[in-house]
């Protein structure tokens, strides 16, 4: 007969409650009474503080499910624990100390991880930590030590994420660095993650080091959720199931959010499309929990995926168009998305024009960078040039044609 397994859930370093799988396979999370009466917040938007348990009949609750490692790391963790890679609770119990955001999960009866002595240095490093990371790209959590970075060990909290080169995606480290550089020029007033490319001794000759925005300089955990969690989606391919407008609607209709955040998110999506970031899905956008309400985190995971032939389809629906090829992105899609974000035509057009004014600076930043080979830099510049010409530059002409046919402009909000 199956046994119940369970773990303790902490918010920062405060005990918040129990998570368990019952013998019938049902998963349950229950807040501890002391946490309910405390001043600390709910651990998730979809898990408000209450005495009644939260029940999930089909796997972990989406908040917890999205904390589980993905891809190669998930499989490596499962082998080390000798469990199925689909046993998400077991994976969290084994590797739940350093998770995204402010929550951690502790196994009351931890099992020793089995690390194959013949495994490569990267696999050994990730299994020596008690941490989980989402995403299929190979990466590990690191801390800065002097002038270099090293993998975390045991119950250390990481300060940075190291993204590693890929055999299937040539120059992915350089591509993300250069894409992020371009976005900082397109959105100069926005908050963007900081990163650098350096070697990780004994692991690789170059890695993209990304400073974690969910950790303070003193190592304190900061509360945030990805949109896959905020929208209550399970992990896996559900991060691709929905539309960019879903996030705009969420911000407009969720208590504690502010409308200017929807506008900021709209600008980020436009910039992502302009640079060819076709893989911008729900797990690549997130919001902090603050005392005032939900607020956008810095922009992150900015990769011109369109450089690779297999990523020519935009990750999420746009203007109800599913699996839209980026080559078919037109001004009408941009306008209709803007309407769904509660923006007027004037504000939408002005946003596009602002991107156009900064396009040369973004292209120049890539062209003169010392990161990446000349061909890679040229390809990224060409992606932006083509995208601007086909998808953005003719938005004024498109509106003029609409108005000549007697279609009145939409003014859905105060542009001030």
How far from 389 is each of 310, 311, 351, 359, 395, CA to CA, in Å?
A: 22, 20, 16, 11, 10
CB 232 within 8 A of CB 47: no
d(Cα 312, Cα 319) in Å, to the nearest integer?
Answer: 17
- How far apart, in Å, are the Cα atoms of 148 and each of 142, 200, 359, 407? 10, 7, 34, 59
* CATH architecture designation of domain 224-404: Orthogonal Bundle (1.10)
- Domain residue extents for the chain: 5-115, 224-404
- In the chain, the percentage of residues whose pLDDT exceeds 90 is 81
For the segment 28-85, what is each residue's pLDDT rounded down to a tens digit? Answer: 999 999 999 999 999 999 999 999 999 999 899 999 999 999 988 999 999 999 999 9
| 143-198 pLDDT, tens digit each | 998 889 999 988 899 999 999 999 899 999 999 999 999 999 999 999 999 999 99
């Amino acid at each position: 007969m199956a046994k119940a397994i369970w773990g303790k859930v902490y918010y920062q370093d405060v005990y918040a409650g129990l998570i368990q799988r019952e013998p019938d396979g049902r998963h349950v999370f229950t807040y501890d009474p002391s946490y309910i009466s405390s001043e600390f917040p709910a651990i998730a938007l979809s898990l408000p503080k209450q005495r009644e348990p939260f029940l999930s009949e089909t796997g972990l609750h989406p908040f917890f499910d999205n904390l589980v490692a993905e891809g190669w790391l998930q499989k490596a963790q499962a082998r080390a624990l000798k469990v199925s890679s689909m046993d998400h609770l077991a994976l969290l119990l084994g590797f739940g100390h350093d998770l995204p955001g402010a929550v951690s999960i502790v196994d009351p009866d931890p099992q020793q991880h089995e690390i194959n002595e013949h495994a490569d240095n990267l696999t050994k490093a990730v299994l020596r930590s008690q941490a989980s990371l989402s995403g299929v790209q190979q990466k590990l959590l690191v801390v800065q030590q002097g002038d270099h970075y090293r993998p975390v060990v045991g119950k250390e909290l990481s300060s940075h994420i190291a993204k590693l080169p890929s055999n299937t995606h040539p120059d992915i480290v350089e591509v993300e660095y250069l894409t992020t550089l371009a976005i900082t020029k397109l959105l100069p007033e926005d908050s963007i993650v900081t990163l650098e490319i350096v070697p990780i001794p004994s692991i690789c000759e170059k890695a993209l080091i990304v400073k974690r925005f969910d950790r303070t300089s003193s190592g304190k955990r900061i509360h945030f959720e990805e949109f896959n969690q905020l929208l209550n989606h399970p992990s896996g391919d559900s991060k691709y199931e929905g539309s960019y407008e879903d996030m705009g609607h969420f911000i407009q209709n969720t208590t504690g959010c502010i409308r200017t955040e929807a506008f900021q998110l709209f600008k980020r999506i436009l910039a992502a499309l302009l640079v060819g970031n076709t893989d911008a899905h729900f797990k690549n956008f997130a919001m902090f929990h603050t005392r005032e309400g939900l607020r956008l985190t810095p922009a992150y995971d900015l990769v011109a995926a369109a450089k690779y032939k297999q990523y020519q389809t935009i990750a999420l629906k746009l203007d109800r168009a599913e699996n839209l090829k980026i080559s078919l992105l037109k001004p009408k899609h941009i306008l209709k998305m803007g309407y769904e974000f509660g923006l007027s035509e004037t504000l939408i057009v002005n946003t596009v024009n602002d991107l156009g004014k900064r396009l040369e600076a973004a292209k120049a930043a890539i062209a003169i960078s010392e990161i990446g080979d000349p061909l890679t830099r040229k390809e990224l510049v060409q992606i932006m040039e083509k995208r601007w010409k086909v998808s953005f530059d003719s938005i004024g002409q498109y509106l003029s044609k609409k108005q000549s046919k007697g279609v009145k402009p939409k003014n859905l909000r105060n542009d001030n």
